[in-house]
Structure 1
């Protein structure tokens, strides 16, 4: 009888879980972006509240400020990390629209003539661990936010 040998291997990092979808630049499209985010994260057992609020804001901005007739906006979600052994999981939310000429400004108190401006990005800044803007050759930009999540 030969002894059995067991080999233990380190678990490989989990593959990135991603979602990318084009949505209509309407209030319905922005709502669908939020609902898809919640469903995608819930399927993986990840918290959804902050991600849903960030997605709603970024998608709402794409509809309100980035809309070009006949052009959709893109929602991208990417979950990386394995979450095992106390490891971290990072969610990256990306919303791309067709108005690369209109970049978001740093959040701050709204100017008197624009009492509603800037409040949404204050929310993104408060909830996200990191956020920013990537510019592409016109006419495109991507506003992204990252959350460090615990499963």
Structure 2
């Protein structure tokens, strides 16, 4: 099993960050560009990966009371992940993304995964900034 994790501080209350991250219809705004999530009967979702042009059955659970998202493949058990939002005071949050690959065949490698995690956190921060700015204006 291989695990990867990245964190980023965001200038927004944790509730705002979590609501943006957990909006199933807006996951494409912060996930890597080549991943697209279609909600079924939640927690069931389908993840389409452009790189392989494959659909994968997965589960996505939002644990609002813990400000945590959890996901993973449903049938083959190749990977799982979570996103955790924590308030760090002064209206800021720390967001941590974690991925676990249980099968080396699903692991695209440290550089690829690290870049994807960093990009996803940056894109989520931008979406939060847009949302908070829209609500304030």
TM, length-normalised to structure 1: 0.29
> Quick check: which has more Rg, 1 or 2?
1
> In proportion to residue count, which structure has more helix?
2
Kindly indicate whether structure 1 or structure 2 has the higher relative contact order, using CA contacts under 8 Å at least 6 residues apart.
2
